[in-house]
Structure 1
């Protein structure tokens, strides 16, 4: 998949736009879970103002009273144009898409189409904790196929797991995180081609969570799973929510490969009642009109990742950050600090910095923490200062 040059519109870095005083007026989870003396660098919310085209689209809809039920294919068309321009991928057709409430609820619905109660769903830990929570809540069985060296997909482990879970002729699904959360790994074309071949060999249905796809570092090729040869029976879930900070405006798209279209057609009609009409409007505007804002964000995130690496080398050399190519998250190996399995607890209690504990990410999470980079350089610098002071 060819990497397409990003825009250079000269927009200001949105990560530098808001101060702590204004951010603390927010009432979302990030800013209301902990007391005011805690710096929250945990849940995947960004400290940014919304892109102006998104604000304008939602404001115009409110002025019109356009707050009914979602309809039409504008979201799918906007994503198709974004994918063609950004990733040189022309494989999205509205006929093989469905609007779903959000990515994780879309994942659940895709898994329901191709598995039954008790069937195995394979994941690659350390991985996004809701993978475990949502899969078990829907009465499927989580099977771990841990990441291998360099925190990359391990084809040998995947093949062994696919073979074992289908040995008795039952159904199995593979929930692929691409790009990977929490490591920020961007899977290569060769890696994904191997996944598709293995899935086809063992009859495993692939559901790819691609919510972080817009957040791939410029110059790094992102390969949509459905663009890979052999992935025709797979599904993918995409959304503008992570790239443009729209988690509170619910909407996502389920995409089906050509040979999965009949399965997607069985999606219950009531699933389409879950997305927010304002969410669809916001996501469509982001994908269609706010790519310049996204590019400014990506530049800011790259600068923050460099800043964090330098701060840690200076103040906390015992922490080893994983070298990421996507997301606004940093996966921190804290095992050399002697803080036990849950270093995030120590940084919260002693330093008043909230990180995500590595433990809920499954195998490989102990001794690790996840840090949200999508904040100002000043907040990031203060967070590392506090973390270092917590160990003094």
Structure 2
């Protein structure tokens, strides 16, 4: 997308709302583009006036997303449902709140949704992963998958995704206790791996532990490429933000190493010495957009959506897809092979306009 098209796309995104409809099969159908002026069909608004949105996922033709204040929301038949799927009593403090969300690989059959949220117990903050069962856009059942993950106002982690192995991966922050990231007994500062019912997979590095990798400060995004490589975004303390390739039983160094420097720890795939606050990340294999075999990276401080083409697990370049939207919290690839992004301007660190925050779709 050239500069002129990008600017027009952003203007169009703010000026017009184009709804999504679903086919009987549940797949998301592309609406007819608005061709009244050049570039107006590049970025489409799906929903506006969201409160601190954090993560999104797809299932059975619907789009589910979290609002950090404690609401689980849904786009059903192209319309943002006014009533929440569920409301949770969360500790919405800085990095904490209702955070990650993912649907089960067999969602069409079981309607399982997994969420990660922060709660207060006495004077302590904790995180838990909950599996809820959804029916007709409402919660009908809930089960705790994992509890007592250390929580904190900052560095709270929160990303959860299912991998191609149908295991649940959970990125936890160090919860401002940097030494916990190197403590194998602690759940803080780790990538955790669980079965869908919360049990520990027998092929984990330690069959008695959910820990898959350690030495993480504040994981924010997870994505797998077509080769099965797992990529993670991680915020540094003031700089040295990272994109990592996660390998089982490996140590990513925090707090002893940032990005690289020691053979004892894994080096980052990409290191950002000027902080961009990397957030959500997605892998785009092939489809309607010209982003084949690329990572798509959302940034908060950077205020940019990036394309990072990859080859054999290495980033070959970095290109700007979108800017001018303010903070970008999350990105995902929909079943229609278009990009969906959540802005993050109402999180207390941005400059929201009267329609923020938004769920947008990039179609060009």
Q: TM-score, normalised by structure 2?
A: 0.29
Greater share of strand: 2
Looking at both structures, which has the greater relative contact order when contacts are Cα pairs under 8 Å and sequence separation is at least 6? 1
- Structure number with larger C-alpha Rg: 1
Q: TM-score, normalised by structure 1?
A: 0.28
